[in-house]
Amino acid sequence: MSDLTEKIKAFLTWYRDLYGDTAYMEQAAAPSSKAKQESPMPSHHSPLLQFYLEIKDCKKCALGKTRTNFVFGVGNEQADVMFVGEAPGRDEDLKGEPFVGRAGQLLNKLLSHIHLKRSDVYIANILKCRPPNNRDPLPEEVVQCIPYLKTQIEMIQPKLLVALGRVAAQNLLNTKMALGKMRERMWEYQGIPLLVTYHPAAILRNNNLLTEALADFKKIKQWVEEHS
| Domains of the chain, first to last | 3-20+55-226 (3.40.470.10)
Of 13 and 215, more confident:
215
**Distance (Å, whole) CA 91 – CA 100:** 6
Segment 202-217 shows an average pLDDT of: 96
Q: What's the CA gap between 137 and 139, in Å, rounded?
A: 7
| pLDDT tier for residue 46 given thresholds of 50, 70 and 90 | confident
pLDDT at 190: 93
pLDDT value of position 110? 97
Q: What pLDDT does residue 32 have?
A: 38
Per-residue pLDDT tens over the stretch 153-186: 999 999 999 999 999 999 999 999 999 999 999 9
Could you tell me which residues come within 8 angstroms of residue 185 by beta carbon, excluding any fewer than 6 positions away?
none
Widest distance between CA atoms in the chain? 50
